[in-house]
Structure 1
Amino acid sequence: MTSTRNSDSPTSYPPQASWTDQVYQALKDFGVKQVPYLPDGSLAPLIDLCREDSSMRAIPLTTEEEGVMLLAGAWLGGDRSALLMQCGGVGNCVNMFSLLTTCTFPAVMVVTMRGVWGEFNPWQVPMGKATRGCFELFGFSIYSLTDASRAGETMRAALQHAFGGNERVVLLVEQSMLGAKSFQN
């Protein structure tokens, strides 16, 4: 498969474009057609953009590992896809990562982080600490997004690496950029 556009001519993003707008545009520029996702507050604007785009199929999941299988099925069926989820679901995918590793086809994930920066919820901390290591164990190239103004170029680099190099990549949207959540009475 080839890119649907010239990767040497990146889209320029207006300075006010949100990180989700930039990531969405990069997905669109690279011909991503299927976007399996698990609902997440930080990903909601990106999910909405994908759902509203008639050229994309946003697919709600009941569990994260379904998304890994959809990445595989989309690629085998001739489509590009990207899985959107929160880091808490990465542990559910570990067994299915073996499919991506063994079959060696491209996989793209956008994962919002919790449990690592100003986290109030102790249940988020263990998987927040383990997420990067899980991806490293399965040979993913990890792109960290810490600056919203660089979201488009970072996502484009990850997509080029995945689809141009037949690699597994993840864009970790760092909690320090998203801000710590707090629920107060």
Structure 2
Amino acid sequence: MQSDEASPHDWQDDVYRVLRETGVKHVVYVPDAGHSVAIRMAEADDEIHSVVLTTEEEGIGYLAGAWLGGERGALLLQSSGVGNCINTLALQVCARFPLLLVVTMRGDWAEFNAWQNPMGQATEASLKLMGVMTWRADDPKDVAPLLHGAATMAFNGDSACALLLGQRLIGEKKWVK
């Protein structure tokens, strides 16, 4: 019998599908397990430029350049990486180019690593303080429509928009000590 529930990876496929449907040609990222499906799909797609970053804030400048070149992009990052981007978000505030962020959350539910908690708890507020509009998905069925909406608002309004993918969506990480 088939379940009506989405499989754990359906939402990850949705991330990539929505990026493609909204015309994204550049996917920039710091490697992250929560984004692994979208990253692999972007790397395999000849029409997508996938770029591994040294640090997340590099992605903001890269995406500004992509937009100046007439192309759309998205930055895939983890909530801890948002802290690295705060100062660089001023580039988007001053230059008003579309900025789409897809953020996997840590430190907000069943987190085993206390070092993830401070930035995980401050991620959404930090983004909002820098003028980034945010939406949060904790249910697999919400990922595609929320990401579509964020991408539409970013690309049609020269806005900074972020979809936060909740840790309950991603699943509890269990590490053996």
Number of the residue aligned with 1:9: none
- Corresponding letter in the other structure for 2:53: L
Note if 1:182 corresponds to 2:169. Answer: no
Number of the residue aligned with 1:52: 44
Q: What is the deviation of 1:166?
A: 1.7
> Which secondary structure state, in structure 1, belongs to the residue aligned with residue 26 of structure 2?
strand
> Which secondary structure state, in structure 1, belongs to the residue aligned with residue 31 of structure 2?
coil
Note if 1:29 corresponds to 2:21. Answer: yes
Note if 1:144 corresponds to 2:150. Answer: no
Q: What is the deviation of 1:80?
A: 0.1
Number of the residue aligned with 2:121: 129
Number of the residue aligned with 1:71: 63
Q: CA-to-partner distance for each residue in 1:83-141, whole Å, 9 max, x for gaps?
A: 00101111111110000001111100100000110101011001101111110101111
Number of the residue aligned with 2:54: 62
- Corresponding letter in the other structure for 2:174: S
Q: Supply the distance in 2 between the matched residues of 1:28 and 1:172 (Cα, whole angstroms).
A: 19
Q: What is the deviation of 1:150?
A: 2.2
Unaligned runs of 5+ in 2: 1-5
Note if 1:154 corresponds to 2:133. Answer: no
Regions of 4+ moved over 3 Å = none
Q: Supply the distance in 1 between the matched residues of 2:22 and 2:88 (Cα, whole angstroms).
A: 25
Q: What TM-score, normalized by structure 2, do the two folds share? A: 0.93
- Corresponding letter in the other structure for 1:83: L
Number of the residue aligned with 1:88: 80
> Which secondary structure state, in structure 1, belongs to the residue aligned with residue 87 of structure 2?
helix
Aligned residues: 171
Q: CA-to-partner distance for each residue in 1:23-77, whole Å, 9 max, x for gaps?
A: 1111101110011100011111110011111110110000111011111111111
Q: Supply the distance in 1 between the matched residues of 2:105 and 2:114 (Cα, whole angstroms).
A: 14
- Corresponding letter in the other structure for 2:92: L
> Which secondary structure state, in structure 1, belongs to the residue aligned with residue 101 of structure 2?
strand
2:95 to 98, 103, 112: 103
1:173 to 165, 171, 177: 165
Q: What TM-score, normalized by structure 1, do the two folds share? A: 0.89
> Which secondary structure state, in structure 2, belongs to the residue aligned with residue 151 of structure 1?
helix
Q: Supply the distance in 1 between the matched residues of 2:138 and 2:108 (Cα, whole angstroms).
A: 13
> Which secondary structure state, in structure 2, belongs to the residue aligned with residue 63 of structure 1?
coil
- Corresponding letter in the other structure for 1:63: T
Number of the residue aligned with 1:8: none
Alignment root-mean-square deviation, CA: 1.2
> Which secondary structure state, in structure 2, belongs to the residue aligned with residue 43 of structure 1?
helix
- Corresponding letter in the other structure for 1:79: E
